[in-house]
Amino acid sequence: MSGKSTLTITDNRTGKTYEVAVDPNGTIKALDLRQIKVDAEDFGLMTYDPAFTNTASCKSAITFIDGDKGILEYRGYPIEQLAEKSSFLEVAWLLLHGELPTKSELAEFTHRVTHHTYVHENLKKLMDGFRHDAHPMGILISSVGALATFYPESKEIFDVPKRERHIMRLIAKMPTLGAMAYRHSMGFPYVFPDNELSYTGNFLSMMKKMAEPRYKVDPVLEKALDVLFILHADHEQNCSTNAMRGVGSAHTDPYSAVAGATAALYGPLHGGANEAVLRMLREIGSLANVPAFVKEVKEGKGEKRLMGFGHRVYKNYDPRATVIKKLAEQVFEVTGRNPLLDIAVELERIALEDDYFIKRKLYPNVDFYSGLIYEALGFPTDFFTVLFAIPRTAGWLAQWKELLGDADQKIARPRQIYTGATRRDYVPMDAR
Ligand code: CMC
């Protein structure tokens, strides 16, 4: 090490040499490359990085991941400790404010979230407009976006007290919207929030309550859902968070930005994977079919994937998958064992011994086992991604807040490499 924090670049096209600063974080500023030109007319050097595989789009103090070691921390706290000792609302506060809440801060936050779970009656009419078989994620995207029209002052994103109120409202109302989407698809009446219950207890009540005067929440299942919510609360610059920041960079209100992030999460390569895992396990059907399925994936050369495996950042076991695998056992003690678990365990065993997966560092991710628990909790497969969107809202909002306070940020606007036709004259219709 020479001690000099710069990078010397020689442009072999011109023979010129440039020196650019290397940040202590090990990054160079992409704009520093713009000075590298072949002549005065040249726009200057750019990097080409589709899907941001090697580009940091922000500085963030929220979530740390070491993908090679399989480490995940929120604000420095290891995910395993938070899953064991914390609660989802405490974690939401931690993500949003940077520190664990004091007793009174948590009590006040819990009280405010609990008392903002109701949605405007007109939202029911919006829900009623969807077909009976509408996918709950489609309903969630639309209904959370619609909330912006009920709170026009949410556009005042630099008014800090107002901004905090809308953040709290979003965390409070996402479970209500999710549960309404489910009840609509089942043809069941909507259930009003119950302020006496915990965040996840109330959510279970809004999902499951039928004719009984009060829904009796099973404490093991309530806790399991809370742990799942903690595990899903944030994951640094993933696809939906990037969407949240992208939309938010235009200074859009938080409801519309969360609708955009929810839409990104819907995709099968992202939050939709938990749903895809269950469909895959059902397709495999029995332990005997596992080797043939793995063979098909390997021969498919990327066409057919082992859903719930692989991650852009983790090149080791996803630490959330470790917690979820243990949690599954606790849940199954209450609900009975999901027979698909045996297929999942066998699939994991075979894949982890197979060269194809070893070479590509493909390990189970968060979605591999979560769907099995969701199914044991009685949630339909279509609903799984909603169960990801509800807790991730806390992370999206923490990242959005950070973006708005970051002087380095501007409206997100990537460059492109134009590959289309060069200038040509319009061809009249009869000459084409
Ligand atoms: N099954 C089989 N092969 C795979 C898989 C898989 N699940 N994932 C990656 N590969 C192969 C891929 O075909 C490629 O092989 P080759 O080098 O021969 O072309 C190599 O591994 C690298 O894959 P990639 O597509 O370049 O990797 P990526 O970082 O772009 O994709 C991923 C990451 C998560 C989209 C991908 O691993 C995948 O599609 N996994 C299945 C879907 C899934 O479980 N998604 C949930 C992710 S975790 C939660 C979340 O983000 O919401």
CB distance 274 to ligand 1 below 6 Å: no
Ligand 1 mean position to 302 CA, how many Å? 8
Note whether residue 421 is domain-resident. no
pLDDT of residue 339: 86
Note whether residue 19 is domain-resident. yes
Note whether residue 288 is domain-resident. no
Residues identified as active-site: 270, 311, 367
CB distance 367 to ligand 1 below 6 Å: yes
Note whether residue 142 is domain-resident. no
Note whether residue 36 is domain-resident. yes
Ligand 1 mean position to 310 CA, how many Å? 5
Note whether residue 7 is domain-resident. yes
* Three-state DSSP class for residue 419: coil
pLDDT tens-place string over residues 281-310: 999 999 999 999 999 999 986 678 999 999
pLDDT of residue 312: 87
Q: Are 326 and 333 in contact (CB under 8 A)?
A: no
Evaluate if residue 2 carries a pLDDT over 80.
no
CB distance 271 to ligand 1 below 6 Å: yes
Domain with 26 in it: 1-47
Using most ligand atoms within 8 A of CB, pick from 68, 232, 244, 269 the residue to mutate for ligand 1.
269
pLDDT of residue 300: 82
pLDDT tens-place string over residues 140-177: 999 999 999 999 999 999 999 999 999 999 999 999 99
Note whether residue 39 is domain-resident. yes
SS (H, E, C) 42-94: CCCCCCCCHHHCCCCCCCCCCEEEECCCCEEEECCEEHHHHHHHCCHHHHHHH
Ligand 1 mean position to 307 CA, how many Å? 8
DSSP assignment letter at 198: -
CB-based contacts of 151, cutoff 8 Å, min separation 6: 166, 169, 253, 255
Q: What's the number of domains the chain is made of?
A: 1
Structure tokens, 168: 């709290």
pLDDT tens-place string over residues 319-368: 999 999 889 988 999 999 888 999 999 999 999 999 999 999 999 998 89
CB distance 312 to ligand 1 below 6 Å: yes
Q: What are phi and psi of 405, to 5 degrees?
A: -100, 10
Note whether residue 14 is domain-resident. yes
CB-CB neighbours of 133 under 10 Å: 7
